[in-house]
Structure 1
Amino acid sequence: MSTAEPWTIGRLLNWTTEYLESKGSEEARLEAQLLLGHALGCPKIQLYARFEEVVDEEKRAKFRELVKQRAAGKPVAYVLGTSEFYSMEFVVTPDVLIPRPETEHLVIETLDVLKGRSSEGSLSVLDIGTGSGIIAVTVAKQAPKASVLASDISEKALAVAKQNAEKHGVSERVEFVAGDLFSAVPDGSQFDVIVSNPPYIAQSERPMMDAHVIEHEPHVALFADDEGTAVLRRILDEATNYLKPGGWLLLEFSPMIAKRIAKLAKETGYYEQISIGKDLAKHDRFLIAKKSA
């Protein structure tokens, strides 16, 4: 391709897609769209309507810098500083995990449980290990009757979560507290639902993981003990102290430990109607359990 040709949006997308593919990207076209849309300040869907538009040098320079970061291995979400979740845009930084599509199903399950308790008037939700706040904020946005308390051990993560609550207009119904699991939850608090996407990757799984995840995402939010069950076990043991009668606990975990988590839930003697929910790939991904009477 001649360098004398004008750098149109279409040409930039095609060149960048090939370049990112050569760097090992599995979603090179989508990433090229996201990066160029960000550089131009427009949604990626608009790019194709502007395919023949020539991009000026200033915007190309900004785009080149974004592509350079991505080619060096930095995840697109961290390059852009945002990520989509539940059709909403969230601020993300290297202090928080990048939202995964699987967690959208945890939110859907949570909203379904809340609908079942909606006749009781106001609803209370506890989000343990909130990270960027995607669960707390999305639940508050989609369930106007719900008030949410969200905790995290990381002050830096909570700063990101607070930005997202403000961004989506739910700051008045989402309170953030710093502490390890339930340590920051006020004594005597009772919730209709407790939900968590806690650290659940076993230390032994590190060698099998994507290098970009290991290099860029916060380990405190990823890893548990050698089996991956330590944090989940603590939540199962302690959550019943904070659930209302008939309240529900929802947890996300790795499909590899699904049977163990269901067994642990039964062994506590605290829960009934224990079920395992599946993600889009039909993998066992969530525990849904009701506090025993």
Structure 2
Amino acid sequence: MIDPALHEAVPSPGCPPPHPAPRSPSLGLPPGSCDAHCHILGPAATFPYAPERTFTPIDAPKEQLAAIHAHLGLSRAVVVQSSCNGSDHRVLLDALTAGGGRLRGVALIGGSTTRAEIEELHRAGVRGFRLNFLPHLRAAPTREEIDSVLERVDGLGWVTEIHVKGQEVAQYESLIRSLPGRVVIDHLARVDLADGPRSPALHSLRTLLDTGDIWLKVSGVDRVSRQGPPYADAVALAASFVTHAPERVVWGTDYPHVNIEGAAPDDGLLVDLLADIAPDPGLLRRLVVDNPVDLFDFPPGPHDPDTERT
């Protein structure tokens, strides 16, 4: 039976409001920069949260996301469907329609999602689907469920996003390797830095990156760090992966930061940390412009290499 409290719009623990006054970044991002992982939540009065959700967020509608991106110097974004919306993609479709090509989407494909619905999502700008393996979001998908989704998205060229935590990336390494097409692992696999630099999780991540078809989001340094702001331990880890596989890494804010411990991070600080994560201008451009355009099939913009004129 669903807990009646889940129908209420009362934010759950771990869903604080975004930072009230994020600083203006000192780092100037290159034109066309992309936030490759963020969420749009609500407003619940228009886009009700799923009754089977495991948490209730604070509303963060598309206008709020657009405002924070303008403040941070980001002109593109990949909006990931939140598990609190389930496979009801109305909020994502609304944002993509309003985005005018500036946004791409990542879906959550349910057991009843039809091929016709998936094709509608593709036309709107969805270019991937997410598999959640975190127990606080849902039970881990079975191989049969994964194969069912793969069959329904076949031929669209979608990315498979993997959301795991800690040693799970080693546990699911064989499954991740077996997935067709390009795969991207979210949030540095949310590894536990207490396990040390020789942990099975970090070994699996590097091994998977070396396959050539698996990518990594070097987002979520605030989630991974054991030190708190400015998250030096997790920033060093992210930088090591950018150096290791510069052509297969992307970055995102994770705005508005749901299911976290403590207060939400300063998104301006997260942008400024890119100076340490990708200190070379060429690496930075790969991370926030070229790689997300490639991975998520953005339409060419005025500052993309294939449209620039000398």
TM-score by length of 1: 0.34
Query: Which is richer in strand?
Result: 1
Query: Which is richer in helix?
Result: 1
TM-score by length of 2: 0.33
Higher RCO (C-alpha 8 Å, min separation 6): 2
